[in-house]
Amino acid sequence: MLKNFWYAVEFSAAVRDQPRQVRLMGQDYVLYRDRQGQVIALIDRCIHRGAALSGGWVEGDCIRCPYHGWRYASDGKCVEVPADQTGVPIPKRAKVEPFSVEERYGFIWLFVGDLPSEQRPPIPPFPEFDDPAWRSVSGEYTWNAHYTRVVESGLDSSHAPFVHSVFFHHRNDAEVPPYEVQIDDWTATAKTISKPPKRAGLLKLIVKRDRPFSSATLTVHLPNINRIHLDFNYRGFQYIYFASNIPIDEHTTLTKWIGLRNFLTQPWADWNSRKNTNDTYYEDKAVIESQVPRVVPLTGEILIASDSLQLAYRKLLRKYVEQGWAIGDYGIPTGLIETNGKQAAVVTAG
């Protein structure tokens, strides 16, 4: 993963009055709410004997370890050691690391890194989430794959006729018209035009005529957010998939997604949104989990015109890897990267 970014690690609704464990690149964090409902994030490891604090419980603004009952305040400082006699001072080292958290767009965002707040990359925008014209569903699934491969699949406009031919157009219509990529420091996005999804399932009920094309605006917000905005080219009907692809470790990605639609906004249609997203996941999973190298290589592989958006993503990843923000494997041993931004000496990934 890359440090110094905000990671959407959990749904807001999942963090209530019990401690909640989340994992990022093998590191466990505990989330809980204080008395004001503010989410607190600490390293999930008691400084005393290493028990997971998430196995304990919340008391007011504090969390209590389940093993010997040490109590920690929301800034991570231990404020009570039950086994000590009254008046015995608490050791200064008795604290666990606290982390910055924000709650936005239905997610808890955790900042992992060492940048001061004014220099941090922003939390990606998702303004439709708070707009009542959109109906939201959410879900999650796990991949036995590195998150960069998962993110790239959400930027890949040429796989749909092959991997998703049940819902999308047929593989005989696989040509990808040229598209433009917009890129800034944290985001790459492109609007792609293609044959529309088939009028199947509920879509058949609401889309009354065949259309020549529809569009998909595909976006990555570095390092791990996919946004897929489908416009069905029919009465303004649109669907937005916003997914946090959480790097659990080098081999596992947990995707927590929110899907918004501005048509059939009644609750009874939720199952169809979920089903379409889950079906798509199973179709992608088979291919993505087979990819080697596991991590997208930052040079090498053959990228063609239809892969321009993936190329932009790789350029952005590379920029931050070269800046020293990589935690874990990005296919380039960090010692071999020239810090002046020139071509790296080694291009293979294991």
Task: Return residues touching ligand FES (CB under 6 A).
Answer: 46, 48-49, 51, 65, 67-70
Q: Is the CA virtual torsion 75, 80, 83, 84 positive or negative?
A: positive
Distance CA 214, CA 193 (A): 6
Question: Residue 152, interface with Fe ion (CB under 5 A)?
Answer: no
- Provide, rounded to whole angstroms, the least separation between the CB of residue 32 and ligand FES: 15
112 makes contact, choosing from ligand FES, Fe ion, none, with CB < 5 to 8 Å by partner type, with none
186 makes contact, choosing from ligand FES, Fe ion, none, with CB < 5 to 8 Å by partner type, with none
284 makes contact, choosing from Fe ion, ligand FES, none, with CB < 5 to 8 Å by partner type, with Fe ion
DSSP 3-state of 255? strand
Distance CA 141, CA 157 (A): 21
Residue 332 DSSP label? S
**Residue 85: exposure state from Cβ atoms within 10 A (0-12, 13-18, ≥19):** exposed
138 vs 153, beta carbon nearer Fe ion: 153
| Size of residue set near Fe ion by CB under 5 A | 2
- Provide, rounded to whole angstroms, the least separation between the CB of residue 220 and ligand FES: 40
48 vs 104, beta carbon nearer ligand FES: 48
Check: CB of residue 192 under 8 Å from CB of residue 262: no
Nearest to 33 by CA among 59, 9, 52: 59
60 vs 69, beta carbon nearer ligand FES: 69
- Provide, rounded to whole angstroms, the least separation between the CB of residue 166 and Fe ion: 12
- Provide, rounded to whole angstroms, the least separation between the CB of residue 46 and ligand FES: 3
Tokens encoding 154: 């959400």
36 vs 86, beta carbon nearer ligand FES: 86
Nearest to 15 by CA among 129, 137, 127, 103: 103
49 vs 211, beta carbon nearer ligand FES: 49
Stretch that binds Fe ion, among 65-73, 106-114, 262-270, 276-284 (CB under 5 A): 276-284
- Provide, rounded to whole angstroms, the least separation between the CB of residue 84 and ligand FES: 11
Distance CA 114, CA 325 (A): 10
Stretch that binds Fe ion, among 9-17, 41-49, 70-78, 150-158 (CB under 5 A): 150-158
Question: Residue 284, interface with Fe ion (CB under 5 A)?
Answer: yes
Task: Compute CA distances 314 → 13, 175, 229, 295, 321, whole Å.
Answer: 33, 23, 21, 11, 10
Stretch that binds Fe ion, among 7-15, 42-50, 153-161, 342-350 (CB under 5 A): 153-161
Distance CA 155, CA 220 (A): 7
State the residues that interact with Fe ion by CB under 5 A.
153, 284
